[in-house]
Structures are given as C-alpha cells and as structure tokens.
Structure 1
Amino acid sequence: MYDITLFTPQDMAKCSLVLRQFGRNTASMEASSQKIVNYIYRHFCDSQTGENTCALVRLFKTHPYGELEDSLQQSARRLMKGNSPAADMKCWTLLAAAGTEPQWNSRHTAADNTAIPLVSTRLVAQMPAISEIIRQFGLDIPTFLGIERERFLQLEPAVLNIFHVSEAKGSPFIPEQNSLIIPYHVKSVLAFGGLLPSGSVFAVVMFLKVKIPQSTAEMFKDLALSVKTALSVPEKKSVFDYSEISKIFVTNNNIAETQLLEYQVANLIQLLDFSEQEMLRQAARFQETIDNLQRELADYKNKEEAFKVSQNSFTGILNIPKDAIVRVDKNQGIQRFNQGEEQI
C-alpha cells in the first residue's frame, strides 16, 4: 500500500518494480494496461483509513483509426457524426480503467467516448485536457499527431513526463467537473506517460481524492518508464484483448525470445539512467539539507556567543557596587536588584 501524501523514493522504487512485471505473459497490451490500472487503484490508499486514494484510474494510448477494433471505430465515427476518418488518423484511445463505480472497471463501459479522433492540429488545440497533457509532456501537437521518423528517434527515449493539475475543481483542463470531479470529491489529477517505441503516446491518468504538490507529482516520472517497459513488449502482440488471440498466446507464445530480451535490455538501460538521475537529485537535496543545517547551526552559535557577551556586559553593569540598579515590573514590584542596592 502507498500513501501518496507520504510517497517516498522507496515507495516509488517498490511500485516501479511491480509495474514493470505486468508486460510479461500477457496476450495483449490491453491486458497489461488493465493490470497496471488495477494495481494503482487498489494499492494507493490512505494510510490511516485504508480508503482508496483514487476515484478513477485510466490508461490511454494514441492508436491509428484503421487498427482499432469495431466498437472503438464506432466511438470515433460517432464523434465525427458518421464520417469515416482516414485509416492512419490517430485516436486518443482508452485501453483500461479501474475505479469506484462498477462500470468504471472496463474500458467498454468506463466512458462515453472510448476513442477520440484527433482530426487536426486546430481541433486538438481545442481539447483542453489532451492539449495540456501534450504540453506538459514536453511535446507539440504536430509531433503528437504524426511523429517524423528522425524526430521520433531523438525524442522517444527522453519523453517520459507528467501532467499535474493541483486543484482539479474548476480547472479548465479537466472537463468532467459535474460527472466526476465534484461528485467524487477529486482534489488533484496526475498523469504520467511518454512515447512508446512505435511512436504512440501513452498516459496513465489518476483522479485523486487528495491534493498533492508538484514535488510529489515529479516522482511519477520514474513510474512512467516502468509502465513503458510493461507496454513495450505487448506492443508487438495484439493491442486489444481478443479471447482467441489470448488462447493462442497462452499455448504458444510466438514472440521471439531474443526480441523480448532486446526490449528488456533497452528498457533496463533507460531505467538505470533514470535511477542514476534520481539518485543525483536525491543526493543534491540531501546536500542542500546538510548545508542548511550547517548554516542554521553556525547562526545559532553566533547568536549564543553574542548572548553570552551581552550577559557578561549586563552582569558587569549590575555588579558595580556603588550604584544601585533595580528592575521593577509595571506594578512597581521589584524583580531584581544588584549589590549596590543591597548595600544601600
């Protein structure tokens, strides 16, 4: 169990290790995705009450319209008022979901629109949630819609990022205010994701019932790499979960062992890079804390020394025998007097 309000690098490492395993022995990317959202929904909880921290968790992926299954193509055409999109047009596609309501635990029933056609740069710019995810991921809309091969090869290893809305209620980037944010008391929204080897963009979106700061959200960049690792191997299998394909896969895994190893090695190298970067960030923060403590200690010693000097001077003044010095309160009651006063 992970309390996101107390999320630590150790929690991140444990969660990352689990998420990476969900790409193994699965027939489809959809099956891996469902495991991922189920795990996040069930294991992020309030440490005091045990209540789920997430109201809803979704996993999206961009996917060409021509390669969508029938129900998803119907969803895309419904938004285009019956027009048939081009086969290579990308759609913002829901692969998996898990949440509070029973219908939220299947991609088939979790949303009204499970495949949103990304028709043009202009129209995508008018979709506040998607366009803001693109921006916070560090991409631009043209790149998001159709990555050129040369540019993709440069971007793919580096694009692993987060989308964070600290205050979900009233945010223009979260359109589901009346159906989700307000009735389910969603405080913050966090997404993490990046680019898959195929050029598709993926994003895990968490609708949180607690408010989290940017510093906590930043830690989920590392989890983005683990999800990418889990999804990259199934990407060479079926994307969607067809029962017949699942049966074939279980009895005869036709993914070459060398191909699996290549994916694992590439992703482990990238994970090592991320881990080293996180270690350096942690070391820098630790050193900054030490420096601050040393400055505070030095400041305290200086104040203590100044106080001693002040006290010595004050005591010397008080002990001048020929002069009477008396300290009184506001009611003229004597609080302290020196030797001179005592002699008088």
Structure 2
Amino acid sequence: MHDLSTFSLDDMISCGAMLRGLGEGARSMEDTAGRVVRALYENLARPATGERSCALVRFFETERFDALPADPRKFAQRMAGGEALAPDTTCLQLLATAGDEPAWNDPRASAGHVAIPLPSETALARMPMIARLCAQLGIATSSVLRPARFTELAERTYDVFHVEHAAESPYVPAKASFVERYGIRSVVGCGGILPSGQMFAVLLFSKVHVEPATAQLFRPLALAIKLAILPWSFAEQEDPTTSEARRAREVVSCAP
C-alpha cells in the first residue's frame, strides 16, 4: 500500500511497475481500465490501518459517437437533448470507476458521466472540470474534439491535473453532495493522447490533502497507465514498440 498523504518517489516507482503490468491478460480496454482504477483505489491507503486515500477513482477516454457501445451511445444522445449528434462527435466515455459507494463501482450506474457528448468547444467550456483538465494536462481542446490518428501528440509527455483544495475550487462541482459529504480534499489527474488520437484521463478524488509536489509524481504514472492500455489503441495493434512505449518502460523499469 502507498499512503497518498506521504507519497514519495519510491512509491511512484513501485506504483508505476504495478500499473504497467495491468494490461497483461486483459480482455479489452475496459477491462484494463477497470484494473487500473481498482488498483489505485485499493493500493493508495494507509499501510497501518488500510484506510483508503481516495473516495473515488475514475478512468475516462474520448471516443467517437458512432464507435460507442449501444448503451453509452443512447446515454450520450439523451445528454444532447434534442440535438442530433454527428457520427464523428467526440464523447467523453466513463470506461471504469472504483469508489466508496456501490454505485461508484459500475460505470453503467453513473447518473451523469456514462458518455458526455462534446460537439464543440462551447460545449466543452460548459464543463469547467473537463476543460481545466485538458488545460492543465497541456492538451489543446481542438485535439480533443478533432483527434487525428498517429498524431505527434501521442509522443508527448503530459502534465498533471491538480486541485489542491477541492472545497474552494470552481472546477470541482457538487460541493455539498460530493465534496463535503465524502470529505474530498484534493483532486489529482493524469493522462495523455493515444496513437489513435483518443485522450485518456484518470481522476482521483482524494480524502487526504495532496500537495503540488506530490501531484507531480503522477506524471510518470500516466506513462505506465498508457503502456498498460496501449495494445488496445487500434493504431498500434501491430507495433506496440514506439518511443512512447519504450519511454514508459524506462520510467518504471527501475522498480524492484
């Protein structure tokens, strides 16, 4: 276990090695994402008591509207109201979730995040947390809304999303029903762009205070997570040996 309140470089290396191997034997991107959120939720805890550091961990990925499974596609269309969504509309899909509440352990049970349509930059701007996530990771909104395969963006290393004081931040919604009720103190996120052009992001809603220096340790973890899900990025089915994958291996290869 790794205590998020005292998360160190050694913790990052060990955690990265764990995350890197989660794709082995997985059946799908969703399966791998489920392993990632479950591993983070269960392993970020106080070793002495087992008390978990996070109330909720979620894994999101962007996907074309016409590529969504049937149920998320119906959800996205309902979210759009009367507006018909174009087949290539980017949607933010909740691939996996793990948390303190039973409903937080099944993405299909989410009330508002199963698949969120993002037809325009205006629509993205109406979601301050997601817009801020893209900004802090260093991902242009145009890259999210109009992804391109084999993009050079997939070779970049991205920054982290960090809200140090969740109760005071305009970027974290549901203050009374979520932040206050579950004692959310900080939010940390990491992610990047896959060779397919899709964005992925993992968000951790922490019950312990996470300082900026600690949040930066999640930057290499994004590479470890990316390595775990890389085989499911269709653009690299035949060649998962890009410099991005090699760099991810190097980051965590020194783990015991």
Could you state the TM-score of these two structures normalised by the residue count of structure 2?
0.92
C-alpha distance 199-39 of structure 1, shift in aligned 2 (>3 A): same
Distance change in 2, residues 1:127/1:214 (3 Å): same
Task: Choose from 179, 182, 188 the match for 2:180.
Answer: 182
1:19–1:36 Cα contact (<8 Å) kept:
yes
Matched position secondary structure for 1:233: helix
Q: Distance in 2 between matches of 1:144 and 1:219?
A: 24
Paired amino acid for 2:17: L
1:154 shift after superposition:
2.6
Matches within 5 A, 1:132-147: 132-147=132-147
Q: How many residues align?
A: 254
Q: Which letter does structure 1 place at the counterpart of 2:248?
A: L
Gaps of 5+ in 1: 238-254, 279-344
Higher relative contact order (CA 8 A, sep 6+): 2
Alignment partner, residue 28 of structure 1: 28
Mapped to 2, the partners of 1:89 and 1:226 lie a distance apart of: 28
Q: Equivalences for 1:3-14 in 2 at 5 Å?
A: 3-14=3-14
The alpha-carbon deviation at position 164 of structure 1 amounts to 0.2
Given that 1:65 and 1:86 are in contact with CA atoms closer than 8 Å, whether structure 2 keeps it comes out as yes
Is this contact kept in 2: 1:157–1:270, CA < 8 A?
A: no
CA contact (8 A) 1:160 1:193 kept: yes
With 102-111 and 213-222 compared, the bigger mean Cα shift is at 102-111
Following the alignment from structure 1 to structure 2, what is the Cα–Cα distance between the partners of residues 214 and 191? 12
Residues 41-50 or 184-193, more deviating: 41-50
Partner of 1:122: 122
Instruction: Answer whether contact 2:155 2:243 (CA < 8 A) is retained.
Output: no
Q: Give the conservation status (yes or no) of the 8 Å contact 2:196–2:234.
A: no
Residue in 2 that maps onto 1:213: 211
Equivalent residue in structure 2 for 1:270, among 242, 247, 256: 247
TM-superposition CA deviations, 1:275-327 (whole Å, max 9, x none) = 79x9xxxxxxxxxxxxxxxxxxxxxxxxxxxxxxxxxxxxxxxxxxxxxxxxx
Query: Do structure 1's residue 41 and structure 2's residue 18 form an aligned pair?
Result: no
Could you list the per-position Cα deviations for residues 111-136 of structure 1 after superposition, in whole angstroms to 9, with x for gaps in the alignment?
A: 43311100111221221011001100
Query: In the superposition, relative to structure 1, how do residues 4 and 213 fare at CA in structure 2: closer, same or farther (>3 Å)?
Result: same
The residue number in structure 2 matching 1:327 is none
Tell me the residue number matched to 2:223.
225
Correspondence 1:57-96 to 2 at 5 A: 57-96=57-96
Higher helix share: 1
The 8 Å contact of residues 159 and 195 in structure 1, kept in 2 or not, is answered as: no
1:70 deviates by 1.4
Task: Measure the CA separation in 1 of the matches of 2:103 and 2:79.
Answer: 21
Deviation for aligned residue 1:274: 4.7
- Whether the aligned pair in 2 keeps the contact of 1:97 and 1:110 (CA below 8 Å) is no
Select the residue among 133, 155, 168 that pairs with 2:153: 155
Q: CA deviation at 1:148?
A: 4.7
In structure 2, the gaps of 5 or more residues are none
Alignment of 1:260-339 (within 5 A): 262-264=239-241, 266-271=243-248, 274=251
Distance 1:63 1:176 in 2: 25
Structure 1 runs (4+) greater than 3 angstroms displaced: 264-268, 272-276
Aligned with 2:160: secondary structure?
strand
The CA distance in 1 between the partners of 2:125 and 2:187, in whole Å, is 20
1:26 deviation in Å?
1.5
State how far apart, in whole Å, the 2-side matches of 1:264 and 1:19 are.
18
- The one-letter code of the counterpart of 2:109 is T
Alpha-carbon distance between aligned partners in 2 of 1:41 and 1:119, rounded to the nearest angstrom: 32
| Contact 2:193–2:200 (Cα < 8 Å) also in 1 | yes
Identical positions, percent = 34
